[in-house]
Amino acid sequence: MSLSFYQDQLLINSLEQQELPRAVEIYNSNPNYNVLTNGEPTLTLAELSREYEDANQYPTGHWLAIRYEDKIIGISHILLENPNDQKPWIGLLLIDSSYQGKGYGKKAYLMLEEYFRSLDKKTVHIGVITSNQRALDFWGKLGFEQYRQVTASVGKLTQPVLCMAKFL
C-alpha cells in the first residue's frame, strides 16, 4: 500500500529505494542525531539500505519522503500497527538540517497525525532517546507525554529510550 498526503506545498509519500542516497544526505546533515543513534557522525548508504530492508519487512511499515518543491527535505518511518502492541508508531521523523526551524517537521507530523485519525487510531506512539533533548522538546510541544522508560536498540546502540504517546 502506497501512502500519499499533500498540504500547503508539502508532499509526503513513499521513499523509494533509489532515493536512499538523498536520505543518507539528510541523516548526515544531522551528525548529532547520528552520534546519538550510531555512535558516529555519519551513516553510510549500506547501513541505511540494511535499515530500509529490515523495516520493510513489517506489513504495516512505511518509509516516507517529505517533499517540498519537488525536493526531499525529510524522511519518516511509521508503523500503522506495531506487531508488539498493535498501536501506531512513528519510528523516525528527520528533517534536513538546512530546513529545520522552519515548521516543516511540525507540519509533516500534523499530516501524519491527520492520517492516523482517519484510520480511527486513538493514540500515536514514539520512542525518544533520553539524551536527545531537542527531540524531547519538539515532541512535547506537539502534545506527546512520557509514559515509560525502556532500554532499547536504536541504530547500533542500546540505550535508555522514553516511550511517549499522544491521544488523538
Look at residue 154 in the predicted model and tell me its pLDDT. Answer: 86
pTM of the model: 0.95
Binned at pLDDT 50, 70 and 90, residue 1 comes out as: low
- 129 is a domain residue: no
94 has pLDDT over 90: yes
* Strands (E) located in the chain: 4-7, 10-14, 61-68, 71-79, 89-95, 123-129, 145-154, 157-167
- 146 is a domain residue: no
- 73 is a domain residue: yes
pLDDT digits 0-9 by tens, 15-64: 999 999 999 999 999 999 999 999 999 999 999 999 999 888 899 999 99
Asked if residue 27 lies in contact with residue 34, where contact means CB atoms within 8 angstroms, the answer is: yes
Containing structural domain, residue 58:
4-121
- 140 is a domain residue: no
Look at residue 155 in the predicted model and tell me its pLDDT. Answer: 83
Asked if residue 144 lies in contact with residue 126, where contact means CB atoms within 8 angstroms, the answer is: yes
- 70 is a domain residue: yes
Structural domains of the chain, count: 1
- 147 is a domain residue: no
Mean local confidence (pLDDT), 158-163? 96
- What CATH number does the domain containing 46 carry? 3.40.630.30
